[in-house]
Structure 1
Amino acid sequence: MSFEPLASDFLGFETLLTDREKDAITGIRAFLEEHVRPTIDDYWERAEFPYDLIAPLMATDVGRFAWPETTPFENSAVFRGLVSMELSRVDASISTFVGVQEGLAMGSIGVCGSEEQKAEWLPRLASGEVTGAFALTEPLSGSDSAQGLRTTARRDGENWVLDGAKRWIGNATFSDITIVWAKDVEDGQVKGFIVPTSTPGYSATAIERKISLRAVQNADIVLDGVVVPESHRLQCASSFRDTAKVLRLTRAGVAWSSVGVSIGAYEAALAYAKERVQFGKPIASHQLVQDLLSKCLGNITASMAMCVRVSQMHDEGTQRDEHSALAKAYCTARMRETVAWAREAMGGNGIVLDYGAARFFADAEALYSYEGTREMNALIVGRAITGSAAFV
C-alpha cells in the first residue's frame, strides 16, 4: 500500500516525512478506515468505548514511537504530530485515548520516571497490555493546579498514603494504572505516583451525560487512604515544574489533534457539498459554500504550519512552554471556527451523525478546553512576551 497525501494538506507538509514514516502513517490510516470509521458513530452515540480495538490499535505504529524503550525506528516530532492528526480526523475520542495512554501516562513515566520504572512500564503501555490514565485535574482545581492541588501525599515509612479526589480523568474507568499527582504534605511540592487501580481505597466513577467526546471514559476518582510504595513514586518528579514538562509535550499534541478534528469536519462538508443538489446544481458550485470551505482550509493550513514548526523546534531542542501553549490556544480556536463553518455548509443535516460533521462539531468543545484552556495558554504566552505573570 503506497502513501497517499491528504488533499486537505494543501501545502504538502506530509512531504517532510521520511519514507519509513510515510509507510507508518499509511498503516495507521488503513487501520482507522477499516476498524474505526465504520462503527465509531454508534459507540459515540451510546457513550461507549471500543475496548476491543485497544490492543490492535497499539500494535500499529501508534504505540511504538514515543520513547527509546519502545521505538522501532527513528522518527520525528512532526511524524508523531501527524499521527495525532490522523487519529483525530477519524475520531477525536480514539485520539484522546491514545493521547492519555501514550502522551500523558507514558509521558509521565518517560519524562519523570527512573530507568527501572521506564523499563517496567513503557513497553507494557506501548503494547496495550497495560492501560494508563493521568490524574491531575480535581473537582476544585483545574487551571490553578500548580498551586491549588488538594490531593495529598503523606510519607509513611517505605510507603506513601494518598488522599483526595480527581475529576475528568480520561481512561480512568478501565485503566490498569493511573498517574496520580499529589501535594507532599511535608514540603508542599507536587509529586507523581504510579497507582495500580486495584489498590484498596481507589475508586473511579464514570462521568455521564456529556455532549463532547462521548466515547471517552472520563471519571471522577476518589483516593481514600491509598497506599503505594516508594518504588511507585516517579523518581524524577519533585515539583510541578516536572509535571509541566509532560504538559508541554501533550499540549502540542492537542494542537495537532485539533487540526485533525478540523480536517474531519472539512472533509465531511466537502464530500456533502459535492453531492447535495439545490437549485438544480451541487451546492459545491455555490459561491457562499465555496467561501465557507476555503475559510475552513485556510484555518487548517495555518494551524498545520504552526504545528509543524513547533514540532520541528521540539526536535531541535528549542521548544519552550510558550510555543506549545500558543499552538494549543491558536489551533483549537481555529478548530472551533472550522467545525462551525463545516456544519453550516451542510445546513440542517450538519447536526445529524449520519452526515459526518456533527461528531467533530461536538467534540471540538472538549479539545478547546482540556490540557489548558485558551485563556490559560494565552497567559503563558503573555508572560513570555511581556515578562510579567498575570495569572491572578
Structure 2
Amino acid sequence: MAQTRSDDENKYSKSLYFNYPALDVSLAFPQATPASIFPPCTSDYYQFANLLTPEEQALRLKVRECVERDVAPIMTKYWEKAEFPFPVVPKLGALNIAGGTIKGYGCPGLSITANAIVTAELARVDASCSSFILFHRSTMLTISLYGSEVQKQKYLSSLAKLDTIACMGITEPGYGSDANGLRTTATKVEGGWVLEGQKRWLGNSTFADVLIITAKNKNTSQINCFIIKKNAPGLQATKIENNIGLRMMQNGDVLLQKVFVPDEDRLPGVNSFQDISKVLGLSRVMAAWQPIGITMGVYDMCHRYLKERKQFGAPLAAFQINQQKLVQMLANVQAMFLMGWRLCKLCESGKMTPGQASLGKSWITLRGRETVALGRELLGGNGILSDFLVAKAGLHELVYL
C-alpha cells in the first residue's frame, strides 16, 4: 500500500529543495585559478627574449596581451561546444599578424622568427586560434608567391585584415602525406575550369570566404591551384564532427561537384607539386612552433597550480617528485625553443633543408607530447578538466604526431 507524505514532510521537503541557499561551488570545492585567468609567463627560463629583436619582443608582448585578455576567458566555453570563437576574429585582425611574412598589400612583412613567435603566443593560450591563423596565413602566402598581380591586389589586403577568411585545400580522403597523388581534377572549358573531387581536414573550410584548391590538370597531368569563392555552385563544405582535438578549429570535408572556376582565378605560378613545396616547408616550421607555444602554456599553468594547490598541509610545489616533473617540463620547453629558433634562422638565411624542417618538427612534437603528459600527471584529477588547460592542450598535441 502506497504511503503518503504528511503536511509537515511536504513542508520540510519544499524548504530543503527550494529554499536552501544556493551553493557556491568555487567555495565548496576549492581548486586553483582556472586558465580563463591565464597564468603569467614563467617558461622563458633561459631568457629566450634576448635572442629577439626589439620589434620581435614588442610583437610578442602585444600578441600575448591580446590572447590572454580576449581569448583565455572564452576558450573553454567554445571548446566544450566545438564552435569557433568568431568574436575574437576582429581582435586578431587588429594585431595585423595574418599577413605574416608577406610584404605590401596591407601585410606586415614580419621576419620568419616574428611569424613563429606569433604562432607560439597564440598556441600558448589556445592552439585552435593558432591553427586558424596558420591555415589562413598559408593560403595568403600561396597567393603572394604564385598569384598574379591582379590576384594579389584583389585578395591580400582584405585577407590581411581578416575581413575575409581563407582556407588551403591540399589533403584528400585517400591522400595526406602523399599529396602528389591527389585525385581532384581540373578540366579546361571555355572561359575557365571545372573542378571535381574531394578534400578533407581543411581548416577554416566551413566558413572561409576564399579557398585555394589543388587539382590535377586533366590535359597536362600537372598540379594547378585555383581560387574558389564561398557559395560557388557545386561547392559543399561540411564540418568533421566528433573531433576531440582541435575542437574550436573547424576542420571540414569539401566536395567539389563540377565547380566552375574562371580563368582569372587560377594561380599562374603553380604547375607542379614542387611549386607549393616552399609554402609547405615554411608551414612545417610554423607548425613546429605550435607545440612550443602549447608547452609554454602547460608549463605556466602547472607552475601556478602547484603553488596554489595544497595537500598534506603544503603546496604541491613543495614535494620533490612534483619538482622533478616540473623541471623536466621546463627543460623540454627551453630545448624546444632553441631548436625552433635555429630552424627560423636557417630558414631566414635560405639554408634550411626539408630534412632539417622535418627533423625539427618531429623532435619538437615528441618533446611536446612528453611535456603535456607530465603536466597531466601533476594536475591529478583536475588534469582532465578543460578549465585547467592541460587536458585540452594534450588533445591538441595529438594533432602533431
Q: CA 1:96/1:157 → structure 2, altered by over 3 Å: closer, same or farther? A: same
Q: Is the 8 A contact 1:199 1:226 kept in 2?
A: yes
- Aligned position for 1:208: 241
2:17 equivalent in structure 1: none
Task: Report what 1:271 is aligned to.
Answer: 304
1:8 aligns with one of 19, 40, 43: 43
Deviations 1:122-165 (A, max 9, x none): 1111101110011111111112112x201111111330110000
Deviations 1:238-266 (A, max 9, x none): 10001211110111001011100111111
Matches of 1:193 and 1:10 in 2, distance apart? 45
* One-letter code aligned to 2:96: D
Partner of 1:336: 369
SS of the residue 2:249 aligns to: coil
- The correspondence for 2:149, drawn from 112, 115, 121, is 115
C-alpha displacement of 1:333: 1.3
Cα offset, 1:341, TM superposition: 0.6
Question: What's the offset of the Cα at 1:70?
Answer: 4.3
Matched, 1:364 2:400: no
Unaligned runs of 5+ in 2: 1-39
* Aligned partner of 1:161 among 194, 206, 218: 194
1:149-190 residue CA offsets vs partner (Å, 9 max, x unmatched): 011111113301100001111101100011101111122121
- Match of 1:62, SS state, is coil
Q: Secondary structure at the match of 2:97?
A: helix
Contact 2:123 2:294 in 1 (8 A): yes
Query: Helix, strand or coil: the match of 2:341?
Result: helix
SS of match in other structure, 1:349? helix
Number of the residue aligned with 1:179: 212
Q: TM-score if structure 1 supplies the norm length?
A: 0.89
Say yes or no: does 1:319 pair with 2:352: yes
- Partner residue in 2 for 1:21: 56
- Equivalent pairs counted in the alignment come to 362
1:172·1:219 contact (CA, 8 Å) conserved in 2? Answer: yes
On the 8 A contact 2:202/2:254 being kept in 1, the answer is yes
The one of 223, 231, 254 equivalent to 1:221 is 254
* Shift in alpha-carbon separation, 1:234–1:72, aligned structure 2, 3 A: closer
Q: Deviations over 1:9-43 (max 9, x none)?
A: 22222222222222222221111111100010110
Partner SS state of residue 188, structure 2: strand
Shift of 1:8: 0.9
- Cα separation, 1, equivalents of 2:99 and 2:226: 23
> Counterpart amino acid of 1:96?
S
Correspondence 1:61-210 to 2 at 5 A:
61-70=96-105, 75-102=110-137, 104-146=138-180, 148-210=181-243
CA contact (8 A) 1:69 1:119 kept: no
Equivalent position of 1:31 in the other structure: 66
Shift of 1:193: 0.8
Question: Are 1:114 and 1:235, in contact at CA under 8 Å, matched by a contact in 2?
Answer: yes
Q: 1:74-122: per-residue Cα shift (whole Å, max 9, x none)?
A: 64211111110000000000000000111x2112112222222222211
> Retained in 2: the 8 A contact 1:134–1:178?
yes
Cα gap change, 1:74 to 1:121, in 2 (>3 Å): closer
Tell me the distance in 2 between the aligned counterparts of 1:235 and 1:161. Answer: 16
- The answer to whether the 8 A contact 1:265-1:361 is kept is no
Per-residue Cα deviation, 1:338-361 (whole angstroms, up to 9, x for no partner): 111111111111011122211101
Structure 1 partner of 2:21 = none
Q: Is the 8 A contact 1:24 1:61 kept in 2?
A: no
Question: How far off is 1:216 after superposition?
Answer: 0.6
CA distance in 2, matches of 1:55, 1:253: 22
Change (3 A) 1:168 1:191: same
Q: What secondary structure, in the 3-state scheme, does the structure 2 residue paired with 1:63 have?
A: coil
Task: Determine whether 1:47 maps to 2:82.
Answer: yes
For structure 1, the 5+ residue unaligned runs are 370-392
How far apart in 2 are the matches of 1:70 and 1:300? Answer: 36
Q: Secondary structure at the match of 2:104?
A: coil
Aligned residues: percent identity?
39
- Provide the C-alpha distance between the structure 2 equivalents of 1:357 and 1:276, rounded to a whole number of angstroms: 15
Q: Are the equivalent residues in 1 in contact too, given 2:186–2:196 (CA < 8 A)? A: yes
2:269 to 227, 233, 236: 236
Q: Which residue of 1 aligns with 2:380?
A: 347
Q: Which amino acid aligns with 1:67?
A: I
For residues 249-328 of structure 1, the aligned pairs below 5 Å read: 249-328=282-361
d(CA) in 1 for partners of 2:107, 2:273: 31
Runs of 4+ off more than 3 Å: 70-75
| CA deviation after TM superposition for structure 1 residue 63, in Å | 2.4
Matched residue of 2:219: which SS? coil
Indicate conservation of the 8 Å contact 1:251/1:324, yes or no: yes
Alpha carbons 1:161, 1:228 under 8 Å: kept: yes
Secondary structure of 2:103's counterpart equals coil
Give secondary structure in 1 for the equivalent of 2:267: coil
Aligned-partner Cα distance in 2 for 1:119–1:319:
30
Query: What CA RMSD, in Å, does the superposition of the two structures yield over aligned residues?
Result: 1.5
